[in-house]
Structure 1
Amino acid sequence: MRSRPGVESRRLPAAAPRRQSGVALLALLTLLTLWGLYLLVGELNVTQFQVARKEAAGAALAQAKQALIGRAAGDDNRPGSLPCPAVDESGVAPLFAGNQCPTYVGRLPWRTLDVGELRDAAGQLLWYALAPALRDDDSAQPINFETVPQLRLDGAPNVVAIVFAPGVPLANQNGRPGNAVADYLDGSNADGDQDFVSGPQSAAFNDVVLAVTRDDLFRVVNQRILGEVRARAENASLPDHGLLGYQALNGGFPAADGDTDGWADAGVLAGRLPYRDLSFSPAALAWLTANDWWRLVSYTQISPCLARIGIVGSAATMDVSGAGPACP
């Protein structure tokens, strides 16, 4: 076909280059999408790993905390006291150096606590810090609900013990396996003072931390004390033991101690426990006296068949119901 004179002929551009450009753009978008998904999945995997690690560590720490509280409440000589940290992986609380623990930051004494080798998700044994005021030694007495522990976690006071899951070693922790605190605990948790910290996981800090507060510990220990005053089941063979023994022998509960001399005062219904009018096993009498518990046990005679005891300054109370023909 001829073009008209003076009129330039026009041709449509070839379609192939445009199609190739579109395909290249689509491929680039696909690649970017896949890369974004890769990064997202990678981030999710890291997050999931961190969550799983904290959950595993948390379970081990919770078990350790309960074991420590149970040990303190069940101690036969000083309820409320705790064992020294172990100095190695044996899990055995060491003997005292004089009247002090050889160390107040070490491994959890898992064998002494009879809980097995508690480990975190990295396979590391748990670590443990103890407030010196709660050490299981005569020199620490009196140990009772008013004892002030020296440890602090994130600035919060009244911490009697802390358990740690150390996790994988950080870049500067090259001494594992070993017994150096700084090769397991991070930052200020390894500086030897009584202030400890928790925090988010990072390249510089991966300790998972759980505190045992004074309230955590004595919430259970206080009930042990009240049970001892009421009359412990294993002492049932002692007919005059504690309040129940007194009530069984005398047909009613005693009056309260109104002037804190330990003796019942006629006509006084509420005050302190008249412990001098009661009988206890020699061992129980010794540690209750040495740890100044008598001063902290409140007592109310509600009726000849019902008394209420408690720990002064706490929410711990216990009703003691008598038995016998006069008691319904």
Structure 2
Amino acid sequence: MQKTLASLALAQQALLAYANQPLGLTQCEMNCQRPGDLPCPDRNNDGLAETSCSNTSRIGRLPWKTLGVGDIRDGSGERLWYAVSERYKNNPRILPLNTDTAGSWSVISINEINWDATQGNGVVAVIIAPMQPLIRKDGWAQQRNDASADDIKNYLDTTDAGDNANAFENSLRGFVQGPISINFNDVVWPVTATIMHRHMQQQVLSEVKRALRCNASPCAALPTAAAISDSSCLGGQSLVAGQCSPALSGLGRLPLDAAAHWPLALQHILDGDARHHWFQQNGWREQVFYQPASPHAIVVMAGEKLTSQSRNTTLEKSNITAYLEASTLQKLQILNSNAMDIASNDSFER
């Protein structure tokens, strides 16, 4: 079990590293690489992710060669199995993908529901150690040889609560965690949306900070922030002159700067053109806040929405407290009596 848990932890680390690959400033017209991307499963046991994963092919083995790690195996010597969420798969991509994107797999225990995709609390991926072969509760005797290597029932088990070999996405009939018994020994490791969102948050913050950094001398004054109430800043559509424009002093969203004050603005993640980059395509402008100042601007990356925060409607998205908590606003010297006075998950840098 110690080896199994170490292998599962290594697999999660490899998936998070894959989702955090460098993005750079390369333009992309379709199916652009983005923070949070995960590979499709390996469906033929060659260690390589399939080039795409449709509705029927998002469960398979962990693509260890694609992830750039060794042939990870559990304590019984079996390769790990893996399921990826439809919203996080890297081909074909579904837009948008940001920290408001829930996972689509449920993981339940024998006694309670731990992650419920039907309530927006699903996980983004599931890694499973199949352990030794056994007789499943439905009477299926697992056989593991070359002829049966692609039959998932020969590796994953079933309980009264569900069948890991027959899991359904966006449903309560997802994957099952349970105590080891003579009929069940799967070790199920969920990759939660929260841990993925933290990594995505830090990567986007780093990319935006790099985009704003001035290497010239002297540096041009940064443009005024766009009003949080400007609904044209929302969504993943391309922006044109007059949308998301500078309207307020102080804290706001990143504006569309027609004067091209942004460095490299014509080929840049902040240029507002959804044809070019992951930033606009995936609605990240909604979740990044900006306070121009001298000598340092401040960039604030909103964290995953917390309980009692809602970002569903245009009106809700126009309220700063739907994104930032009281402690974050206090650091920015902004008083808002409606802000949530709880532990913040926001990040910001000068």
Structures share fold, TM-score greater than 0.5? yes
Q: State the alpha-carbon separation in 1 of the partners of residues 167 and 250 from structure 2.
A: 50
Tell me which of 197, 201, 207 is aligned to 1:222. 201
Secondary structure in structure 1 of the residue aligned to 2:97:
coil
Q: Which amino acid aligns with 1:286?
A: H
TM-score, normalised with respect to structure 1: 0.71
- Aligned residue among 158, 164, 171 for 1:189: 164
Q: What aligned pairs does 1:239-254 form with structure 2 within 5 A after superposition?
A: 242-245=211-214, 250-254=219-223
Q: Percent identity over the alignment?
A: 32
TM-score normalised according to structure 2 size: 0.67
**Partner Cα distance (1:168, 1:283) in 2:** 51
What residue ranges of structure 1 are gaps of 5+ in the alignment? 1-53, 232-241, 321-328
Structure 1 counterpart of 2:311? none
Indicate if the aligned counterparts of 2:251 and 2:292 stay in contact, CA closer than 8 A. yes
1:114 alignment partner AA: G
Counterpart in the other structure of 1:49: none
- Determine the structure 1 residue equivalent to 2:342: none
Match status 1:268 vs 2:249:
yes
Q: Of 61, 68, 77, which residue of structure 1 is paired with 2:8?
A: 61
**Structure 1: how far apart are the matches of 2:303 and 2:217?**
26
Aligned-pair CA distance for 1:317: 1.4
The residue identity in structure 2 corresponding to 1:224 is: Q
Q: Which letter does structure 2 place at the counterpart of 1:87? A: R
In the alignment, is residue 111 of structure 1 matched against residue 65 of structure 2? yes
Deviations 1:262-316 (A, max 9, x none): 3333x52111122545245737451111111112212223544241321264523
Q: 1:55 Cα deviation (Å)? A: 1.2
CA distance in 1, matches of 2:268, 2:225: 24
Match of 1:162 in 2: 126
Partner AA of 2:21 in structure 1: G
CA distance in 2, matches of 1:193, 1:142: 22
CA distance in 1, matches of 2:205, 2:96: 17
Residue type of the partner of 1:85? Answer: P
State the match for 1:17 in structure 2. Answer: none
- 2:181 paired residue among 199, 202, 225: 202
For 2:255, give the aligned amino acid.
Answer: P
Rounded Cα–Cα distance in structure 2 between residues aligned with 1:311 and 1:215: 13
1:290 paired to 2:281: yes
List aligned pairs for 1:169-188, cutoff 5 A.
169-171=133-135, 172-177=141-146, 178-187=149-158, 188=163
Q: Tell me by how many angstroms 1:250 deviates.
A: 3.3
Q: Matches of 1:287 and 1:213 in 2, distance apart?
A: 22
Paired residues of 1:75 and 1:81 also in contact (CA < 8 A): no
**Are the counterparts in 1 of residues 72 and 80 from structure 2 also a CA contact under 8 Å?**
yes
The structure with higher relative contact order (CA 8 Å, sep 6+) is 2
2: CA distance, partners of 1:219 / 1:181: 32
Partners of 1:101 and 1:109 in 2: CA distance: 18
2:100 and 2:215 map into 1 onto residues whose CA distance is 28
1:300 and 2:300 are equivalent in the alignment: no
Instruction: Give, in whole Å, the separation in 2 of the partners of 1:255 and 1:150.
Output: 38
Q: Could you report, residue by residue, the CA deviation over 1:214-242 in whole angstroms, capped at 9, with x for unpaired residues?
A: 111110111111111110xxxxxxxxxx2
Does the CA contact (< 8 Å) of 1:185 and 1:207 recur in 2? yes
Q: Counterpart of 1:163 in 2: which secondary structure? A: strand
Deviation of the 1:245 alpha carbon = 2.3
Match in the other structure for 1:15: none
Count of paired positions: 254
Report the equivalent of 1:47.
Answer: none
Amino acid at match of 2:10: Q
Q: Give the letter for the 1:254 counterpart.
A: P
Larger radius of gyration: 1
Change (3 A) 1:287 1:176: same
Question: As a proportion of its length, which structure holds more helix?
Answer: 1
Assess if the C-alpha contact under 8 Å between 2:40 and 2:91 holds in 1.
Answer: no
- Secondary structure in structure 2 of the residue aligned to 1:140: coil
Q: Secondary structure at the match of 2:214?
A: helix
Work out the CA distance in 2 between the residues paired with 1:283 and 1:161.
31
Q: Where does residue 48 of structure 1 map in the other structure?
A: none
Contact 2:51/2:91 (8 A) holds in 1: no
Q: 1:27-70: per-residue Cα shift (whole Å, max 9, x none)?
A: xxxxxxxxxxxxxxxxxxxxxxxxxxx21110000000011111
Which stretch of structure 1 is more off in the superposition, 184-193 or 302-311?
Answer: 302-311
